[in-house]
Structure 1
Amino acid sequence: MDRIRIVGGAELRGSIPISGAKNAALPLMTASLLTDDTVILDNVPRLSDVMQLLRILGNHGVDHSISGKRVGQESETGQTIQLSARQIVDTTAPYELVSRMRASFWVIAPLLARMGQAKVSLPGGCAIGTRPVDFYLMALERLGAKIEIEAGYVIATAKDGLKGAEIEFPKVTVGGTHTAVMAAVLAKGTTVIRNAAQEPEIGDLCALLVKMGARISGAGTSTITIDGASRLSGARHTVLPDRIETGTYAMAVAMAGGDVMLEGARPELLQKAFDTLTATGAEILATNEGVRVRRNGSGIAAVDVTTQPFPGFPTDLQAQFMALMTRAKGVSHIRETIFENRFMHVQELARFGAHIKLDGDLATVEGVPTLKGAPVMATDLRASVGLVIAALAAEGETMVHRVYHLDRGFEALEKKLSRCGAQVERLTG
């Protein structure tokens, strides 16, 4: 099993190209099930989750091709994927495929909308809380689907097709909003989704669907209105840059010190996190190339954070920010309001010498002058990169185990850090 070895202490200087967003690419790929024409996606990141979703889509009959690298491109340059669901050959998404990745459950909406039926295993993914699919199923039922759960599978049917309806989520849900949007675009009549998630990845999905012929208004707001279409066509779309990868590398610079240009980053996708980083003492500058992040030697200020749905501070940056706060001058408080089990990285950060106390959804972090390298183990995708950030500033060597979590969401991480001076290498076996 691969490991990543990091020797801390080096400042980061140079440039890092920001990849396409995993959290946008996966629903965009899933949307290819809605049409029998070809959907072309540019800037798709090279990640294990992307490959896993291609296997799942292939099981339904989706053909795909991946364009090879062009002259002058590096391995961290996004790829182009063509997806063609000309004929759906199977409306079942089996346990052995879906259990490996939660986002694969989203196939239920386009399969149901286009074929009138879907049988999808209950999902897997990171162990960061229960994250039930109740809201997904509630949205489908509002649109006229009949839902049954049998032997770990959700069986959804709509013999006469889905029908437009009012859907109001009791709390903001990104997955639920993705599901409702993909189901409603082929439903008969008008659908209004209230308390919809406002994440940029929702807007990116809606942008593709509009190119395909969907009639959608209000994307990016809490109310999305969709007038159902009889069919959708193919389209070409570029995946937006990954705001979580952007924030992660920005925090790495704030932690290790230095000066790095995050190429292609869009600051408007991450304003709350950048405001928070600025309060810690980092310098954030938007340019035509992307976002430049610098930190001088004045140290890191302690800042309190509460995770919230967009446009608030992202839960997917909580572990990375906690790593940064372990070296802050003073005490910080980090409240996790999105997932109830997303503090599993605390015990691993303690192995570096961090001082962190937990009380329910609140972590109190007392900054320490130095961290010491240690063997640590990744517990989920975002926690694993939080350990990498801590290791960059720790004295001595750190070995991060179970890095397959990293491969799910960070394209060419060790290459991107190494090109900026970090001592990072992957060890195989």
Structure 2
Amino acid sequence: MEKYIINGGSRLTGELSISGAKNAVLPILAATVIGGNKSTITNIPNLRDVQIMKEILLTLGCTVEYDGSTMIVDSKPLNQIVVPEELVREMRSSIILMGAMLSRTGEVILSYPGGCEIGPRPIDLHLKAIRDMGAEIEESHGHLHCKVTRLKGAEIQLDYPSVGATENIILAGVKAEGTTIIRNAAREPEIIDLQNYLNKAGAKVSGAGTSVIVIEGVDEFRDVNHSIISDRIVAGTIMTAAAITGGDIIINNIVIDHVLSIIAKLREAGVIIYTNGNSMKVMGPRKINSIEMLQTLPYPGFPTDMQAQMMTLLTVASGTSIISETVFENRFKHAEELARMGANIKTFGKVAVIKGVKELTGAKTTAKDLRGGAALVLAGLIARGTTEVYDIYHIERGYENLHLILQKLGADITKVN
């Protein structure tokens, strides 16, 4: 079983560029099946989830060339409607293939998706919207069988600005008959990236980044080249690593607007951050300040995917901090692992109270999910002694060679089997 071994105490310094965003590349790869066209996608991160999506595309009959950070997908030969259960169960994002496949073939069979265990992430919003667009969906024995002659445009009011549901409706709407309007749509940057890819291919999507998205159905798609936006959560994780180690790091290839909420909270904690174009300089303070209240919210609020990393920072802050997790129910699993390292954290449902301690100490820990695993790595960077992080396959779902990135910045971290 692979694990990270970290000897704490090193101050991180140096410069790096941020790779493509996991949460942008997966829906775009799903979208490649729609048009029967050739898509050349660049700035792709080398992640487990990307490999799983590649396997799904191959299983569906697409031809895929994958070299370095470029993937070329030709979906013209697509000839299957069953998405393999073992692949779907490994990756929650696979649910967005529902909208994409209905656009292409009018039929798809897939199982309920898997991924990190961070509480229920119901797909009811997806199913209701797709049904509103005319599809019949049979649910039995953990599988979904979706069929439609042709999807029809609809006005859809989301009860919650779900990223996945917003993406699924866009993918279903691009070839639907008529116009689809999504109200209370998610506003994340990754949805803007999906819109940009689709429009290059000939779709007519507008409004991404706002709460109302309009999709006019089209019949034809063309070949397309597209570069994935940089990963704001990887950037936020490295920013926090600089902060917690008292480091000095320059981060390039980052869209500053995408990380403004992270910058604001880190500055509140005393971190010094300078921005310039698509770069920033992050310097950790001598003393980390506590944060009175950090609440996760849909974009442009503070991202739930950065909550665990911020919790690690606050374990060594002066004073008491409160975190309110409003997006996912079961997202404090890292708290008990941090407590093994000496952190003083009390959780009450969706609220965590963190009382800063003078230092953390190394321990054997287990990553329970993707971002919680990253939080344990950050803790290991400053803990006295040696920290071992097990089940790092969770971490590798969202970070490309995190140990190598941190090594280059001066961390004493190794990956072993």
Q: TM-score range by the shorter chain?
A: over 0.9
Q: Distance in 1 between matches of 2:287 and 2:153?
A: 57
CA contact (8 A) 2:289 2:319 kept: no
Q: What amino acid maps onto 1:164 in structure 2?
A: G
User: Does 2:96 correspond to 1:85?
Assistant: no
What are structure 2's unaligned runs of at least 5 residues? none
Which SS does the other structure have where 1:136 is aligned? helix
1:256 has 2:242 as partner: no
CA distance in 1, matches of 2:290, 2:140: 52
CA deviations over 1:194-228 (Å, ceiling 9, x no partner): 00000000110001000011111111000001110
Structure 1 segments of 4+ aligned residues over 2 angstroms from their partners? 298-303
Query: What is the one-letter code of the residue matched to 1:123?
Result: P
Q: Which amino acid aligns with 2:178?
A: G
- Write the letter of the residue equivalent to 1:117: E
> Partner residue of 2:305?
316
Structure 1 counterpart of 2:196: 207
Residue identity matched to 2:268: A
Q: Which amino acid aligns with 2:151?
A: L
Aligned to 1:218: 207
Instruction: After TM superposition, list the pairs within 5 Å mapping 1:87-236 onto structure 2.
Output: 87-159=77-149, 161-236=150-225
**Residue 34 of structure 1 corresponds to which residue in structure 2?**
34
Match of 2:352 in 1: 363
Deviation string 1:10-40 (CA, Å, 9 cap, x unpaired) is 1110012211000001011111001111101
Superposition TM-score, scaled by structure 2 size: 0.98
1:57 Cα shift?
1.2
Letter in 2 for 1:134: D
| Structure 1 residue 296: Cα displacement | 3.3
Structure 1 residue 373 corresponds to structure 2 residue 362: yes
Equivalent residues of 2:256, 2:278 under 8 A apart: no
1:59 equivalenced with 2:59 (yes/no): yes
Alpha-carbon RMSD: 1.0
Counterpart secondary structure, 1:11? coil
**Structure 1 unaligned regions, length at least 5:** 69-78
- State the distance in 1 between where 2:181 and 2:142 align: 30
Shift of 1:412: 1.3
Question: Does the 8 Å CA contact 1:139/1:167 hold for their aligned counterparts?
Answer: yes
Aligned to 1:7: 7
User: SS where residue 92 of structure 1 aligns?
Assistant: coil
**1:426 maps to which residue?**
415
**Residues in 1 aligned to 2:278 and 2:194: alpha-carbon distance in whole angstroms:** 25
Cα deviation, residue 258, structure 1: 1.2
**CA positional deviation for 1:360:** 1.1
SS at match of 1:97: helix
Give the alignment partner of residue 283 of structure 2, picking from 286, 290, 294.
Answer: 294
Q: Distance in 2 between matches of 1:246 and 1:38?
A: 30
Q: Structure 2: which amino acid aligns with 1:60?
A: L
Is contact 1:276–1:303 with CA below 8 Å preserved after alignment? Answer: no
* Matching residue within 249, 257, 280 for 2:269: 280
Query: Aligned-pair distance for 1:303?
Result: 4.1
Find the counterpart in structure 2 of residue 76 from structure 1: none
Residue 44 of structure 1 aligns to a residue whose secondary structure is: coil
Structure-2 separation of matches of 1:267 and 1:415: 24
1:244 aligned counterpart, secondary structure: helix
Question: Could you report, residue by residue, the CA deviation over 1:126-165 in whole angstroms, capped at 9, with x for unpaired residues?
Answer: 0011101111111111111111102211111112x00111
Distance 1:289 1:273 in 2: 15
One-letter identity of the residue aligned with 1:219: A
Contact conserved, 2:290 with 2:356, CA < 8 A, in 1?
Answer: no
Distance 1:53 1:130 in 2: 22
**Residue type at the aligned position of 2:237:** T
Task: Return the offset for 1:298.
Answer: 3.3
Q: Partners in 1 of 2:348 and 2:232 — Cα distance?
A: 29
Distance in 2 of aligned mates of 1:51 and 1:163: 32
Describe the superposition over 1:274-311 as per-residue Cα deviations: whole angstroms up to 9, x where unpaired. Answer: 10101101111112451211123233443420000000
Q: Secondary structure at the match of 1:302?
A: coil
Amino acid at match of 1:4: Y
Cα distance in structure 1, aligned partners of 2:221 and 2:152? 16
Q: Is the 1:266–1:291 Cα contact (8 Å) retained in structure 2?
A: no
1:247 matched to 2:236? The reply is yes
Q: What TM-score results when the alignment is normalised by the length of structure 1?
A: 0.96
CA-CA distance at 1:359 after TM superposition? 0.9
* Deviation by residue 1:306-361 (Cα, 9 ceiling, x = unmatched): 00000000000000000010001000000000000111111100011000111111
Give 1:233 shift: 1.7
Identity across matched positions, percent: 41
